[in-house]
C-alpha cells in the first residue's frame, strides 16, 4: 500500500494501482452493485484529457513537458492498457465526479516518481469541470459506438432481409391479421416489412447523431466557461473532431448543454424504436417457424443447438429469444434514461453515470444482437413451401376474391358453409350453386390476390 492525500485527508491505496485518494475514497463510500462504465466511456474520457492537455499547451496555459506527459498517459487510457485502474461503479455522485477524478489520478500517477510531478486537478483537469467533461464523454462515446458498432451491424441485418425479399418474391402465402387467416401476400412482401422497419430505424438513429455531436465541453462548472482561455472551447472541439474523425461542434448553449441531457434521451428513443422493431420481427419469425409439426411451420430456421435437456431432438428459436430479451432490456434502459434525463436540477443533470451506462449498454446490445441474429438466423432462413402451399389452399379468406363479383354477404355464406362442412371454398360455392367450378377457378387465383386486381 502507499499513502495518497486529497482535500479530505490521507488514505492508503494499493501500491500497484495508479488511482489516488479520491478514487479510493469513492471505492469505500459507494459499495453498490458491480456495474462499471463501459470501455467506450473510458476511451472518451482519455481522448478528452489528451486533447485538452494539448490545447492548454498551445494556449500557454500548461507547460509543454506536462502536457506531453499527460498526453502520453492519456493515450494508454485510450488504448485500454490501463483498464484495470478504473474500478468505480456507476452508482456514485450524479455528476460523475468520482470517475472524472479517477481518470485524472490515473493519468497523473502514471508519472509517479518523475522530477516534475503532475497534479490531477491543477494539471490533468486544467480548464475543466466534471460538469462539462462527463457529458462530453457521454456524447463522444455514443457517437463512436453508434458509428462503429451499431449502424454497420444494423445495415448488414437490413441488407440480409432485403436479400430475402428478392429470394421470396414469388412465394404466395396466406396473410394473417389478429392471428387469424387473412388474404394472401407473398413471403417477399412479409419480409419487405421487416427490411423497411430496419431502414426506418437506421434513419432515426442517424438523425440523432448531429445533436450528440454538439459537445458541452468548455462550459466548466455551470456553463460560463470559468477558468478557461477565450479560445479554449473552439480549439478543443476542433481538435476532438480532428482526432476522432467525427464532425463535432460546440453546444449552441453551454447552459443547456450542462443542465440537460435531451440529446441522449432523444437518441435513446431512436434506440428504443429499433428495439420495438426487432422485437416484432423476431417474434414474427418464431411464430412463422413454430412447430415443426404442430405450429405454423412456414419457415425453417437454422438448427444451432439442442433445445431441451429433457426432450430429445427438440430445437428452439433461440436467436429470436435472445433478440427479444435484448429488446426488453433496451426498452427498460430507455425508461431509466427518460427519468434520468428529466432530472436536471437547475444548472446540472445529476443522473449522468446511469445515463452513460444505459445508453452505451443499449448501443452495445443492439449492435451485438443485430449481428448474431443476421449470422445465426436470418441468413439461413428457408421457406417450407409444402406447408405454405397447404395453408394457402385451405384458407377460407380466399373467398375475399369473390366479394366484388357475388357480393360480401353471399361470399360470407360460402365461407361459413365451407367451414361448417369441412370442405373447400370451391366445393361450397358449387354446392350452393353460387358459381360453377370453372368460374370459381377463374376468379380465385391466389397470386392475383397479392396485388391490386380490379379495373
pLDDT tens for each residue of 310-363: 999 999 999 999 999 999 999 999 999 999 999 989 999 999 999 999 999 999
Grid look-up 500548461 returns: 62
pLDDT interval class at 168 (50, 70, 90) = very high
Distance in Å from the first CA to the final CA of the chain? 87
Contact 418, 203 (CB under 8 A): no
Is 178 known to be catalytic? Answer: yes
* Residue-level pLDDT at 391: 96
Per DSSP, the residues of 82-113 read TGGG---BS-S-TT-HHHHHHHHHHHHHTTTT
Using one digit for the tens of pLDDT, what is the confidence trace for 192-207?
999 999 999 999 999 9
Exposure string (b/e) for 139-155, b if CB count within 10 Å is 16 or more?
bbbbbbbbbebbbebbe
Is 308 known to be catalytic? Answer: yes
- Distance (Å, whole) CA 82 – CA 80: 5
- 35-50: average pLDDT: 98
* Residue-level pLDDT at 116: 77
Using one digit for the tens of pLDDT, what is the confidence trace for 366-406?
999 999 999 999 999 999 999 999 999 999 999 999 999 99
Residue of 178, 229, 290, 395 marked catalytic: 178
- 128-135: average pLDDT: 98
Residue of 114, 116, 119, 308 marked catalytic: 308
- Distance (Å, whole) CA 139 – CA 363: 13
Q: Is the pLDDT of residue 152 over 80?
A: yes
- Distance (Å, whole) CA 60 – CA 62: 6
CA angle 16, 19, 23 (to 5 degrees): 130
Task: Report CA-CA distances (Å) from 228 to 131, 191, 238, 260.
Answer: 14, 55, 16, 22
- Distance (Å, whole) CA 125 – CA 150: 31
Amino acid at each position: 500500500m502507499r499513502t495518497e492525500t486529497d482535500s479530505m485527508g490521507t488514505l492508503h491505496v494499493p501500491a500497484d494501482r495508479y488511482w489516488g485518494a479520491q478514487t479510493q475514497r469513492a471505492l469505500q463510500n459507494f459499495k453498490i452493485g458491480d456495474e462499471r462504465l463501459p470501455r467506450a466511456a473510458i476511451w472518451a474520457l482519455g481522448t478528452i484529457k489528451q486533447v485538452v492537455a494539448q490545447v492548454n499547451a498551445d494556449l500557454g496555459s500548461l507547460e509543454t513537458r506536462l502536457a506531453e506527459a499527460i498526453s502520453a498517459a492519456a493515450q494508454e487510457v485510450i488504448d485500454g492498457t490501463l483498464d484495470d485502474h478504473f474500478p468505480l461503479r456507476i452508482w456514485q455522485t450524479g455528476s460523475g465526479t468520482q470517475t472524472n477524478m479517477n481518470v485524472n489520478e490515473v493519468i497523473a500517477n502514471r508519472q509517479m516518481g518523475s522530477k516534475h510531478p503532475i497534479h490531477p486537478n491543477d494539471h490533468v483537469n486544467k480548464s475543466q469541470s466534471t460538469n462539462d467533461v462527463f457529458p462530453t464523454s457521454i456524447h463522444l462515446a455514443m457517437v463512436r459506438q453508434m458509428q462503429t458498432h451499431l449502424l454497420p451491424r444494423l445495415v448488414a441485418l437490413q441488407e440480409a432481409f432485403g436479400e430475402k425479399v428478392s429470394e421470396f418474391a414469388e412465394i404466395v402465402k396466406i396473410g394473417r391479421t389478429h392471428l387469424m387467416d387473412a388474404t394472401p401476400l407473398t413471403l417477399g412482401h412479409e419480409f419487405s416489412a421487416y427490411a423497411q422497419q430496419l431502414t426506418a430505424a437506421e434513419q432515426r438513429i442517424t438523425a440523432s447523431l448531429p445533436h450528440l455531436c454538439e459537445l458541452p465541453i468548455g462550459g466548466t462548472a455551470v456553463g460560463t466557461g470559468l477558468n478557461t482561455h477565450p479560445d479554449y472551447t473552439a480549439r478543443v472541439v476542433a481538435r476532438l473532431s480532428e482526432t476522432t474523425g467525427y464532425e463535432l461542434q460546440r453546444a449552441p448553449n453551454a447552459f443547456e448543454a450542462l443542465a440537460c441531457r435531451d440529446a441522449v434521451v432523444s437518441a435513446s428513443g431512436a434506440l428504443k424504436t429499433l428495439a420495438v422493431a426487432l422485437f416484432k420481427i423476431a417474434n414474427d419469425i418464431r411464430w412463422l417457424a413454430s412447430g415443426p409439426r404442430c405450429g405454423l411451420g412456414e419457415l425453417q430456421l437454422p438448427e444451432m443447438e439442442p433445445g431441451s435437456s429433457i426432450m430429445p431432438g427438440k430445437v428452439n428459436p433461440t436467436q429470436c429469444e435472445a433478440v427479444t430479451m435484448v429488446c426488453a432490456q433496451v426498452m427498460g434502459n430507455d425508461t431509466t434514461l427518460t427519468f434520468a434525463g428529466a432530472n436536471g436540477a437547475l444548472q446540472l443533470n445529476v443522473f449522468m453515470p446511469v445515463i452513460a451506462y444505459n445508453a452505451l449498454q443499449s448501443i452495445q446490445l443492439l449492435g451485438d444482437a443485430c449481428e448474431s441474429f443476421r449470422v445465426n438466423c436470418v441468413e439461413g432462413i428457408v421457406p417450407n413451401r409444402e406447408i405454405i402451399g397447404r395453408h394457402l389452399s385451405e384458407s377460407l379468406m380466399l373467398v375475399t376474391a369473390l366479394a366484388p363479383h357475388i357480393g360480401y354477404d353471399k361470399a360470407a355464406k360460402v365461407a361459413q358453409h365451407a367451414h361448417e362442412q369441412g370442405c373447400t371454398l370451391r366445393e361450397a360455392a358449387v354446392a350452393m350453386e353460387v358459381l360453377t367450378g370453372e368460374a370459381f377457378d377463374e376468379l380465385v387465383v391466389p397470386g392475383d390476390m397479392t396485388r391490386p386486381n380490379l379495373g
